[in-house]
């Protein structure tokens, strides 16, 4: 199985048929690919305990597939615990990372721990430890460490030097000593960035080495959890992460740590397993560019608007046409609603089907109803089988949670 599934690798005839049958915008998730990604990752890191970080794509169908492939699930919110349980994951296969946890989230996690004492809770603030103890929690605890160095593809996802995440590096030894009186301290945890590729690997190494140093000093730990952050190529010419090199790096930095290494890849497992299908409804030549309007927008995929993320765009219908510079955007009345600007795309025409690539991570989970857009449907592919894993929202779904307007039948 190759290291990356490119947008060009998707079967165009099948995408056309899916779009006809289920409508657009449509998320397509290749579950064979999800499974293969997990298996490839777990094989490269065969010395580590590999969990899947649910945040990247917490649809129950995806959670089931990764869990069936034997991944435990890392949840960074009580809602993710809820969804994992609803997907049939046993509580003992979950780990909970509390980031500024609301009371209700802590209570949910502590309740769950009451039934499943194997649950590990990760906390990154001393006040969170107090709040856990106040609720009677004295179970398996990991401390989240802020290594003071962040890595990754965008400052908004580099968490390693953001004071929001984890205990200040210099406090950890003391907090760990004190925590042993109240909890079963089993691990240290750090998640330092996201989208790490070859260029960032050295920064990543330095951040992880600092955490590993600390783990060696704290001692007597069952595991050292180094989080996720493994990147995928979004551009067609970008090489994939060398997993063997990444595994070697992790092995080297943890060589002196007498604890099991744990990892929490999210993006790496699901990103290239997803494509977003959109139909062209507008083509407009302007003095500046060719404007191509499609029925998917930033409410379906916000990464370009939010992170300046590159996502490749393929003209599924017109693969062989000559590329022309296009600005492809959606139906929202904001200039942020563009997937690409002045990028060569085989000359789009009205009615063409376009596919946006590498959207399986942080795609549908960041979809919103902004601008009163119903969220898209999602179809799962497995071999020749396909099934709808999320129905398309309707206009009724837009008003469903609101109080009714007085006097309107």
The whole-angstrom distance between residue 93's C-alpha and the CA centroid of its chain comes to: 19
- The nearest distance, CB 194 to ligand PLP, in angstroms, is 3
| Segment lying near ligand PLP (by CB under 6 A), choices 27-35, 262-270, 282-290, 325-333 | 262-270
Report which residue's Cβ sits closest to ligand PLP: 228
Considering only residues 323 to 362 of the shown chain, the ones binding ligand PLP according to CB under 6 A are: 361
Q: CA-to-CA distance for 208 and 146, rounded, in angstroms?
A: 10
DSSP 65-119: HHHHTT-EEEESSHHHHHHHHHTT--GGGEEEEESS--HHHHHHHHHHHHH-TT-
What x/- string results for residues 62 through 81 when contact with ligand PLP is judged by CB under 6 A? ------------x-x-----
E strand or H helix that includes residue 378: strand 377-382
Omega within 30 of 0 (cis) for the link into 25:
yes
Contacts with ligand PLP by CB under 6 A: the residue count is 18
Considering only residues 7 to 26 of the shown chain, the ones binding ligand PLP according to CB under 6 A are: none
204 near ligand PLP (CB under 6 A): no
- The nearest distance, CB 293 to ligand PLP, in angstroms, is 31
Region at 74 (left for phi over 0; alpha for psi -120 to 50; beta for the rest)? beta
Query: Are the beta carbons of 30 and 277 closer than 8 angstroms?
Result: no
Residue 193: CA atoms inside 13 Å, Cβ hemisphere, count?
A: 26
What x/- string results for residues 97 through 136 when contact with ligand PLP is judged by CB under 6 A? x---------------------------------------
Query: Are the beta carbons of 357 and 312 closer than 8 angstroms?
Result: yes
| Segment lying near ligand PLP (by CB under 6 A), choices 48-56, 210-218, 384-392, 396-404 | 48-56
56 near ligand PLP (CB under 6 A): yes
Q: Which is nearer to ligand PLP, 144 or 314 (CB)?
A: 144
Q: 333 an active-site residue?
A: yes
- CA distance readout (Å), 215 to 143, 183, 264: 10, 17, 18
How many angstroms separate the most distant Cα atoms in the chain? 71
What x/- string results for residues 149 through 188 when contact with ligand PLP is judged by CB under 6 A? ----------------------------------------
Supply the residues annotated as catalytic: 333
Summarize as ranges the residues that interact with ligand PLP (CB under 6 A). 53, 55-56, 74, 76, 97, 191, 194, 227-230, 264-268, 361
């Amino acid at each position: 199985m190759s290291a990356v599934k490119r947008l060009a690798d998707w079967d165009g005839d099948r995408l056309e048929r899916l779009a006809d049958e289920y409508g657009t915008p449509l998320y397509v998730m290749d579950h064979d690919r999800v499974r293969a990604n997990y298996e490839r990752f777990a094989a490269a890191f065969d010395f580590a305990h590999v969990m899947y970080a649910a945040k990247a794509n917490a649809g129950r169908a995806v959670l089931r597939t990764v869990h069936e492939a034997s991944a435990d699930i890392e949840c960074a919110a009580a809602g993710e615990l809820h969804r994992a349980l609803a997907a049939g994951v046993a509580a003992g296969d979950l780990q909970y990372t509390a980031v500024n946890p609301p009371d209700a989230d802590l209570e949910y996690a502590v309740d769950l721990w009451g039934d499943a004492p194997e649950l590990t809770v990760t906390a990154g603030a001393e006040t969170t430890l107090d709040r856990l103890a106040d609720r009677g929690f004295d179970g398996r605890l990991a401390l989240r460490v802020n290594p003071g160095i962040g890595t990754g593809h965008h400052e908004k996802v580099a968490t390693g030097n953001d004071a929001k995440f984890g205990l200040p590096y210099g406090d950890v030894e003391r907090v760990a000593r004190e925590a042993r009186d109240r909890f079963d301290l089993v691990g240290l945890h750090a998640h330092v960035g996201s989208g790490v590729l070859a260029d960032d690997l050295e920064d990543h190494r330095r951040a992880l080495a600092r955490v590993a140093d600390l783990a060696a000093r704290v001692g007597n730990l069952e595991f050292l959890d180094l989080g996720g952050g493994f990147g995928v190529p979004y551009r067609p010419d970008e090489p994939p992460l060398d997993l063997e090199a990444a595994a070697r790096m992790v092995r080297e930095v943890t060589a002196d740590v007498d604890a099991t290494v744990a990892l929490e890849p999210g993006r790496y497992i699901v990103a290239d397993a997803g494509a977003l299908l959109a139909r062209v409804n507008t083509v407009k030549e302007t003095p500046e560019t060719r404007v191509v309007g499609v029925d998917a927008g930033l409410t379906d995929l916000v990464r370009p608007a939010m992170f300046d993320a590159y996502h490749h765009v393929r003209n599924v219908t017109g693969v062989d046409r000559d590329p022309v510079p296009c600005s492809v955007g959606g139906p929202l009345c904001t200039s942020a609603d563009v997937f690409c600007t002045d990028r060569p795309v085989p000359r789009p025409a009205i009615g063409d089907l376009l596919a946006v690539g590498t959207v399986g991570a942080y795609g549908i989970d960041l979809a919103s109803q902004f601008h009163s857009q119903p969220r898209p449907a999602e179809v799962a592919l497995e071999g020749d089988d396909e099934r709808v894993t999320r129905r398309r929202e309707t206009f009724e779904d837009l008003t469903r949670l609101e109080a009714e307007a007085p006097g309107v039948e």
